[in-house]
Amino acid sequence: MNHFQVNPIGTIHHSEEGPCIRVDNAYIPALKALEGFSHINVIWWFDRLDDEKSRSLLQTEQPYKGAPAVMGIFATRSPQRPNPLALTASQVTGLDPEAGIIRLAFIDAKENTPVLDIKPYTPSFDRIEHPGVPAWCSHWPRSSEESAEFDWDEVFS
């Protein structure tokens, strides 16, 4: 098996101003020209579930109401996976490139979570006009904006 080395480029932080990414000083030059992008894709590490048990979980019992009784982990957004990578598309609410701070509207990562990479959200590559989903989740929101008002407690088993 091949092994890959990844290094965090920053960390997630939460305050009364909302979530943000603090980019490590060495990577601040990589923020140049990020201004103007309304959203970014944040690739982060589920560091709190990076253990042998979590990495070996390949199937899980019905995590969502109405879903199949057993699901493969690749059909879920579970943090328990062979490589604990996460991806969140988030609106940029503020950018201070000199300080290495990217303020976000939302991110589903905890305090001090390692950020591995940031990519600008561009509709030509990231947006799918008519995505298909299984019937059991077809009633879920069609966008992250709609998700903010959705009762997710009604979804999880």
pLDDT in tens, 41-89: 999 999 999 999 999 999 999 999 999 999 999 999 999 999 999 999 9
Percent of the chain with pLDDT over 90: 89
CATH topology for 1-46+84-126 is Elongation Factor Tu (Ef-tu); domain 3 (2.40.30)
pLDDT for position 21? 98
- Contact present, 39 and 91 (Cβ < 8 Å): yes
So where are the chain's domains? 1-46+84-126
Please list, in sequence order, all residues whose beta carbon lies within 8 angstroms of the beta carbon of residue 98, skipping any fewer than 6 positions away.
28
Q: Quick one: average pLDDT of 111-127?
A: 96
pTM beyond 0.85: the answer is: yes
Closest CA to 104 of 13, 10, 19: 19
Going by pLDDT thresholds of 50, 70 and 90, the confidence category of residue 117 is very high
- Distance CA(134)–CA(132), nearest Å, equals 7
